[in-house]
Amino acid sequence: MVRRVAVVGAGSSGLACIKICVDEGLEPVCFESSDDIGGLWNFRETPEPERTSIYRSLVVNTSKEMMCFSDFPMPADYPNFMHNSQLLQYLRLYAEHFDLLRYINFQTTVRSVLQRPDFSLSGQWEVVTINKNGQEERHIFDAVLVCSGHYTHPTLPLSDFQGHETFSGRCLHSWEYKDADAFTGKRVVVVGIGNSGGDIAVEISRSAEKTFLSTRQGAWVMGRMSTNGVPLDIAVIKRINNVLFQLLPKTLVNWVAERALNNKYDHRLYGLKPKHRLMERKPIINDDLPGRILQGAIVMKHNLEGFKDSRVVFEDGTVEENIDAVVFCTGYIGKFPFLPSTLSEGPYEEVTLYKRVFPPSLHPPTLAVMGLFQAKGPIMPTVEMQARWAVKVFLGQSRLPPKEKMLDVIESERRRNMQSYPCPRQAVLQVDYIPYLDFMAGEVGVQPKLLRLFLRDPALWAKVFFGPCTPYQYRLSGPGNWSGARQAIFTQWERVAQPFRTREIPENTSKFGLCSPLMLTFTGTVIIVVLFSKDKIVPTLEAVTEMLNKSTVFLRELWFSLPQNPDM
Ligand SMILES: Cc1cc2nc3c(=O)[nH]c(=O)nc-3n(C[C@H](O)[C@H](O)[C@H](O)COP(=O)(O)OP(=O)(O)OC[C@H]3O[C@@H](n4cnc5c(N)ncnc54)[C@H](O)[C@@H]3O)c2cc1C
Ligand SMILES: *[C@@H]1O[C@H](CO)[C@@H](O)[C@H](O)[C@H]1NC(C)=O
Ligand SMILES: *[C@@H]1O[C@H](CO)[C@@H](O)[C@H](O)[C@H]1NC(C)=O
Ligand SMILES: *[C@@H]1O[C@H](CO)[C@@H](O)[C@H](O)[C@H]1NC(C)=O
Ligand SMILES: *[C@@H]1O[C@H](CO)[C@@H](O)[C@H](O)[C@H]1NC(C)=O
């Protein structure tokens, strides 16, 4: 019988795990090596070994309504994309509201997590910790939730580059980067175009003499803003879109989306274009990079090849002289030094996990790893759902398939993902946001029941199906339901709009003003005429009048059949 659960780490994942254990009547004991909560969102001036480290200016890339915990909406006045310090503030509110701090042992580092000799019967673990006075302690737990983060061990591939020992400038990893102060007036090469690489290159380019951004593969770059300035994720992550993506041919979806994106800035012209299609991988989120390229402050370069004194050589043979610093934004390797090495049983020596949560060889399944995945969506609500599932499995209320089946699933998912991510270690990490959440919600018994909603509460159904897939959807029914969930869904657009209301402008006339049916008709007609004339069928005057008439009728009908509520 599972009762005491160890939670390793008190970042956003650890906090969610503590809360969910308490909800389920378990006794969580959290160990946090630092002196505070928040993990990577707790900005520190100097990076600390084995811990995540962020730069001062970091702003989230997922919007507040999408990334909050499912039963704790963010305050309405928070900006949609907040600075890291404000996210920490939210985590403090969460911890305070659910009274989580009393379960945390600060300045206590987990050194090892070992199976007890009678593990196959008891499922128990021995957790060895070291406190701030260097004292070692041993504890027995019925289950373990690993929330130690995975942006902890930077990969710095220096030795891959010939002549690196001759380089006279400074080499650093983005893990060490805090701000651009040290780069004023310098000539800097940034290597790697992930989210960090893009942010850091943009920031350095504002004070450096010249900034070069070197990339092996290129990337699709999207801003945080969608049409009308609505947050990108809230506009895209919808159940209806998920259905459409599955029905429509992938090439068509890619073609349309790439075209729309290239209309803003042509990725080929800007030296950004990758080999892969837009929907195949996560695009990078950056509002300023194209602008900095346009202004010549950032110069795009091919992959880095090597160094020669103060010169940097790129794979296309070009050389940049007098380089003062190279910032490697080359990512991290997920390591869990305290876990038994037997859990790294996959063919690529990574921690092998069924559905990114459970090591398949553990029986009984009393250990779960949180947050070790990549998605085109927010991490926090996904981890929250992982924790809800993990706790159900610990309690025997949800069952895992046999080991062989789990290994098969892991490999088939890896193979599927390798169509877009050729690196097998990367491929295995990828999950599809809504289907992944829905799978776990199904196991927990909290999957929104669309048919029932449609019949009983059509207004809510419309929001759930056509609106953004906000985390509140997983608190509507079933175990752990929250009475505020429906209300939170109905007020989500209010909270999106609230931070903008600092200079209110009275709304006037008809909401859509002149641009309504009349304008639409006009545009529609122009499009039709243009299409026809392309086909060399020069329309006669009557034809035009007729088309105008037809399109008026059609568009008027279409217009009135559309939901008039922008909340959809
Ligand atoms: C630069 C950057 C930007 C990001 N931006 C976003 C974003 O906008 N939106 C989003 O959804 N996600 C984002 N992420 C992903 C982010 O990792 C997750 O959102 C989430 O914050 C991870 O939280 P965590 O608790 O799992 O890990 P962490 O925040 O890393 O917390 C781990 C905690 O465990 C502690 N710990 C580690 N080892 C031990 C040990 N042995 N014993 C005791 N304690 C230990 C650490 O001290 C730390 O407090 C970003 C990540 C990075 C690196
Ligand atoms: C946000 O940035 C982090 C850190 O680079 C990245 O891991 C995550 O995938 C990004 N999220 C989205 C939705 O792009
Ligand atoms: C909400 O949870 C309670 C307790 O678990 C349960 O009795 C109730 O049926 C749930 N409500 C809904 C709508 O699922
Ligand atoms: C302008 O908007 C206000 C508030 O919505 C409304 O009361 C008023 O009637 C509007 N004026 C006109 C001319 O439509
Ligand atoms: C449009 O067509 C309908 C019938 O098809 C006709 O009754 C109507 O008069 C036409 N309107 C105009 C503006 O031509």
Question: Which tens digit of pLDDT belongs to each residue from 187-202?
Answer: 999 999 999 999 999 9
Residues 6+ apart with CB under 8 A from 75: 90, 93
The domain boundary residue, chosen from 328, 345, 374? 328
pLDDT (0 to 100) of residue 37: 98
Query: Which is it for the CA torsion 113, 114, 118, 121, positive or negative?
Result: positive
Ligand closest in space to the Cα of 380 = 1
| Whole-structure pTM value | 0.88
Residue 543 has pLDDT above 80, yes or no: no
Do 243 and 293 fall within a single domain?
Answer: yes
Atom of ligand 3 nearest to the CA of 478: 14
Residues 306 and 343 in one domain: no
Q: Is the CB of residue 378 less than 8 Å from the CB of residue 233? A: yes
CA 393 / ligand 2 centre spacing (Å): 28
Domain annotation covers residue 457: no
Residue 424 located in a structural domain: yes
Alpha helices in 418-484 (DSSP H): 424-427, 433-444, 450-456, 458-466
Is residue 171 a part of any domain in this protein?
yes
The Å distance, Cα 148 to ligand 1 centre, comes to: 7
pLDDT at 560: 55
**Euclidean distance between CA atoms 71 and 65, whole angstroms:** 11
pLDDT at 564: 46
| Same domain (yes/no): 295, 199 | yes
Q: What is the pLDDT of residue 308?
A: 94
- Ligand 3 contact, 477 CB (< 6 A): yes
β partners of residue 128 = 112, 138
Q: Whose CA is nearest to atom 5 of ligand 3?
A: 479
Evaluate: CB of 453 within 6 angstroms of ligand 1: no
Task: Answer yes or no: do 346 and 322 share one domain.
Answer: no
- Is 528 within a domain? yes
Q: In terms of domains, do 310 and 338 share one?
A: no
Check whether residue 408 and residue 523 sit in a common domain.
Answer: no
Give per-residue pLDDT as tens, 447-499.
Answer: 999 999 999 999 999 999 999 999 999 999 999 999 999 999 999 999 999 99
Find the residues whose C-beta lies inside 6 A of ligand 4: 506-509
Compute the Cα dihedral for 280, 369, 412, 399 and give only its sign. negative
Q: How confident is the model at residue 566 (pLDDT cuts 50, 70, 90)?
A: very low
Task: Among the bound ligands, name the one nearest to the CA of residue 195.
Answer: 2
Question: Which residue puts its alpha carbon closest to atom 1 of ligand 4?
Answer: 508
Q: What local confidence, expressed as pLDDT, does residue 535 receive?
A: 55
Identify whether residues 174 and 316 lie together within a single domain: yes
Tens of pLDDT, residue by residue over 294-342, are 999 999 999 999 999 999 999 999 999 999 999 999 999 888 999 999 9
Among positive and negative, which fits the CA dihedral 56, 58, 64, 69?
negative
Is 430 part of a structural domain of the chain?
yes
Query: What pLDDT was estimated at residue 303?
Result: 96
Q: Kindly write down the DSSP assignment for every residue of 495-533, as one continuous string.
A: HHHGGGTTS-----SSTTGGGTHHHHHHHHHHHHHHHHH
Looking at the structure, tell me whether residues 177 and 323 fall in a common domain: yes
User: At which of 328, 348, 374 does a domain end?
Assistant: 328
Structure tokens at 395: 């309690």
Domain extent for 437: 4-152+333-443
Domain presence at residue 459: no
State which H helix or E strand residue 244 sits in.
helix 239-247
Confidence band for 515, pLDDT divided at 50, 70 and 90 = low
CB atoms closer than 10 angstroms to residue 526: 11
In a domain, 568, yes or no: no
Ligand nearest to the CA of 511: 4
Tell whether the model's pLDDT for residue 91 goes beyond 90. Answer: yes
CATH of the domain at 423: 3.50.50.60
How far does the centroid of ligand 1 lie from the alpha carbon of residue 41, in Å?
7
Closest CA relative to residue 124, chosen from 27, 208, 19, 4: 4
* Ligand 3, pocket-test mutation among 449, 481, 486, most atoms within 8 A of CB: 481
**Overall number of domains in the chain:** 3
- CA–CA separation, 342 vs 346, rounded Å? 10
Pocket test for ligand 1, best of 29, 34, 68, 148 (most atoms within 8 A of CB): 148
Which pLDDT does position 141 carry in this prediction?
98
The residue whose C-alpha atom lies closest to atom 9 belonging to ligand 3 is 478
Q: How far is CA 454 from CA 461, 477, 488, in A?
A: 5, 14, 18
Sorting pLDDT into bands at 50, 70 and 90, what band is 283?
A: very high
Are residue 394 and residue 543 in the same domain, yes or no? no
With cut-offs at 50, 70 and 90, classify the pLDDT of residue 539. low
> Rounded mean pLDDT of the chain?
93
Same structural domain, 176 and 56: no
Residue 302 and residue 216 share a domain: yes
In a domain? residue 548? yes
Handedness of CA 385, 386, 391, 395 (dihedral sign): positive
Per-residue pLDDT averaged across 3-27, rounded?
98
Residue nearest atom 39 of ligand 1, based on CA coordinates: 148
538 half-sphere exposure, CB direction, 13 A CA radius: 0
Same domain? For 184 and 86 the reply is no
pLDDT of residue 476: 98
What does the longest C-alpha to C-alpha distance in the chain come to?
91
**Residues 208 and 184 sit within 8 Å (Cβ to Cβ):** yes
- Choice among 43-47, 299-303, 422-426, 548-552 with the minimum mean pLDDT: 548-552
162-173 average pLDDT score: 95
> Which pLDDT score is estimated for 565?
47
Ligand 2 binding pocket (C-beta < 6 A) is 61-62, 194-196, 282, 285, 374, 376-377
Strand partners, 141: 125
Nearest Cα to Cα of residue 461 among 438, 490, 440, 433: 490
**Cα of 237 from ligand 2 centre, angstroms:** 15
Tell me what the mean pLDDT of segment 221-242 comes to: 96
3-class DSSP state of 391: helix
pLDDT at residue number 257 = 95
Mean pLDDT, residues 352-372 taken together: 97
What are 284's two structure tokens?
A: 């990078």
Mutate to test the pocket of ligand 3, among 397, 477, 482, 486 (most ligand atoms within 8 A of CB): 477
Please tell me what DSSP assigns to residue 69. B
Taking the centre of ligand 2 as the mean of its atom positions, its distance from the CA of residue 24, in whole angstroms, is 30
pLDDT of res. 328: 97
Q: Is 445 in the pocket of ligand 3 (CB under 6 A)?
A: no
Task: For residue 515, report the distance from its CA to the centre of ligand 5, in Å.
Answer: 23
pLDDT, tens digit, 9 for 90 and up, residues 110-120: 999 999 999 99
The rounded distance, in Å, linking the Cα atoms of 411 and 325 is: 41
- In the listed set 428, 443, 458, which residue is the last one of a domain according to the structure? 443
